Structure 1
Amino acid sequence: MAIDFGSVKSYNSNRGFGFITGRFLNPHRRVFFHIKKIKAKHPEIAEKLDNEENFQGLNLWYEIEQTQKGEQVKECWLHKDEIPENHVSELSDLIGKVENIWKNIDSSKPSWLDIVTIELVGTNRKDELSLQRNNLENQRREAGERKRKDVEVERLRQIELQRERERQEVERQKQIRVDKENEVRKLSAKYSLSIDEAEELYLLLEEMRPKNFTHSKQLSMYIVKQKLGYKYKNISGILTMQDGGNEWDFHGGFPPKIYSNICKELGLDNQHTKARPIDFRSFKDVSPTDKF
């Protein structure tokens, strides 16, 4: 046997039965009752039901029994104090459930909670539980507000960090440009090159150093293969070579002065052939169709 607290949800006065919906055992379960169960102890309530008066808000404590036709109300009481002592342990369990409901701020407060709490533990305890729930809700709101503030502070911090990173990147790029300009001027002065030639030499050296070439031929072949003549058109071009009575054009070569400078800066060895350069035309001075 089990007891529950519920309200009358439906009643057929012609047939003398209806259904009660409980609060604890199964909030969605309807338990059958017959009017004679109510007439035995509460004839005034039975009279209201039989007269089809509004039963909304009619709350009862009741004991459930299992029959061949299903669950039904075995006995009912209007107030907790009327419940027999043999249900003391069940009432104690219900008190624990009610207090947990008050403390569970993850769920909205049921409309019936005040009535049931007063029935079980009295008005003073209900007020205490209500105050505790309000405190818990306030603490959650305050915690949520702190979290929102922390999130906003972190968001602003990240924005500031991003701005600082962008500022540092601007400074870094500025320093790179300054370093490049300084290196270009050094190369220009070191090898008596124009600024345009020195800048291309600088860019070529920066691009080629990671390749770890060991011979000038590797560098020339790479420039030809990658068609970098357009990129280094001032210092690279068509080099006319001569070996004995033979002459040929080498696309992607360098004039002797530039060739020597590149080998020196990259530490490249030459092939030590008998061929010698006799003419050079930079790519900037030849038509695109003649470059490769």
Structure 2
Amino acid sequence: MATVFHNGRFFQSGIQGENPSFAECMLVDGAGVIIHVGSLGDEQIRQAEADGATRHGLGSRIVLPSFIDGHMHLLMFGQSLQKAGLESCKNLEDIRKILKDFAAAHPSASRILAKGWMHSMTDGKALASMIDDIDARPIFIDSKDLHSTWCNTAALDEMGVQDMPNPEGGEIHRDGNGEASGLLSEAAAVTIVWPHIAKVAPMEEKVAAIRHAIKAYNAVGYTGLVEMAMDENGWEALQTLRQQETSPMRFAVHWLITPRKTEAENLAQVDRAIELNRQFNAETSPDCRVVGIKVIGDGIIDGCTAGSSAQS
């Protein structure tokens, strides 16, 4: 049954954001689709009410269009809500204090996770030795742009990176003796650190992280998300959540293509995205669709995403 929402101010955009206007009511059909915004005297409203539409007053509230985040990482964002935030830090001393306080406040956590670090905070250095004495547990610190991860020795050992070769498109930074020194950048962060943290987390924790992410987005008016680097770990958790409950969020997913050594391995990932698109698309699954692939081809300048172009 359709509903006429009234006694509210329904935002209508002005020209180039200036002089916005507000409508008197909004008509929504039984499927939740907005089919008219205007005045109570409009023909569409009169006809809908003649057909049985009900009225619902909004107590003079302002009604705005919902927002869609065009580039986010669902599982990582949900997990980041439980991470120590380093955004306000100016130097290594600030970082160490926040990590120490966070570790003391979370004695039962298996790992210390942090976010928001920028290379300029530590004079371009990211060595395990700079944070090894803070806590015996593995420490993983995300750079602000998520293109690199700074780890302590316990984290490096847990991932087993000492004997790993650099992945295609990434680097496990090493000291003069060839030992992993603490920083994993670009594809090394994406293909080693992200899957590791997702894998060691129990499924119930991953589902809870996604649930927290959705709740945080809904709280500020978002009803749609574009996931720009989905992988099997995140996909399994998202589908588990969707099986458990109806989500108040729509997802458009880009499948992450991680650099591999052979063209066949790269194309196999594209084939996986195509397979999922055939199952999850606008017709079969409008609230959760696989719409494209993500190929990482940019880099960073001091923790800020950067692109490069060639000029002739």
The two structures have a TM-score, normalised by structure 2, of 0.23
More strand by share: 2
> Which structure: larger Rg?
1
Scaled by the length of structure 1, the TM-score of the pair is: 0.24
